[in-house]
Structure formats: structure tokens, C-alpha cells
Structure 1
Amino acid sequence: MIVQLLAIPEPYQHQNYMRQLMDFALQTAKSYDLPLVIETDEKLKCDKYGHFGVKLVNKRDFGDDRYGYGMICEN
């Protein structure tokens, strides 16, 4: 299962929606015995996903100081 974009609009931030969405994704992946793969474009987001047990597995350099981060949580 892959999450490529998880965005919470500003008016809804800090209301626990990210946790709810991540819990849903993690539970769904686990129910199918699949790893959860997350791709993001910001190092700060990697730190946030780390709180859910997701680990950074690769970093891609797109040039112009832009990077892509691949993360995974194995069940």
C-alpha cells in the first residue's frame, strides 16, 4: 500500500486528522499483510511519519535543492 500525498488543509491542522488518516492507512496495510510505503518531499514530514513507526529507506536528489524521501512501515 502506498501513500504518495497526505495533506491536511490549514484550517483543519492541529485537530488530529493526520493521526486518524495514518492510523487508517497503517491498519489497512496490516489487515492485508502489506508494508505501508510513504513518499514525501520534505525532511520535516519524515520526522512526523517517524512517530508512526515509519522508517526512512531512501533519499532521491531531484536537483535544485529538491529531494524525495521514501519511507516504509512493515507490519
Structure 2
Amino acid sequence: MDGPGYGLASISCPTASFCAAVDGLGYAVTFDGTTWADPISIDTGTSSYSVSCPTDSFCVMVDGYGRAVVGRT
């Protein structure tokens, strides 16, 4: 995740022990307070990504086409 020129596109951390992020290549990850999960590709054909964490244990990462990955603790 986060190769040259493809930094974080969006990140949300509702608590210190739960975050979700997506980079400019469309790889989404979650953080459980100690480690980041393995990246999951949500898309490589768009440059628009968004992360929303409505609660402290649930996040949704969405690409420019509306495809989503859900992360939860």
C-alpha cells in the first residue's frame, strides 16, 4: 500500500483503536489498534476513493464506481 505517487486517498479513524484507509491505487485496509490488515483491492480503474466510519467498529471504503469494501472490528 502507498507506492510512489499513490499516497492515501482517504482515511477515517473514529477511535484510536480502529481506522480504515484507501490509497490512490484502490487498496483498502483496516487498523485494529496494533496492526494494519492485509490490503484488499477495491478497484484500480478510478482515482476517486472515500472512507466513512459511522461507528467505532464499522467502516465502508468506496471507489468512484460505487463498489465498496466493509471493514469491522
- How would you bin the TM-score normalised by the shorter chain? under 0.3
- The structure whose RCO (Cα within 8 Å, separation 6+) is larger is 1
TM-score relative to the length of structure 2: 0.27
TM-score relative to the length of structure 1: 0.27
Q: Larger radius of gyration, structure 1 or 2?
A: 1
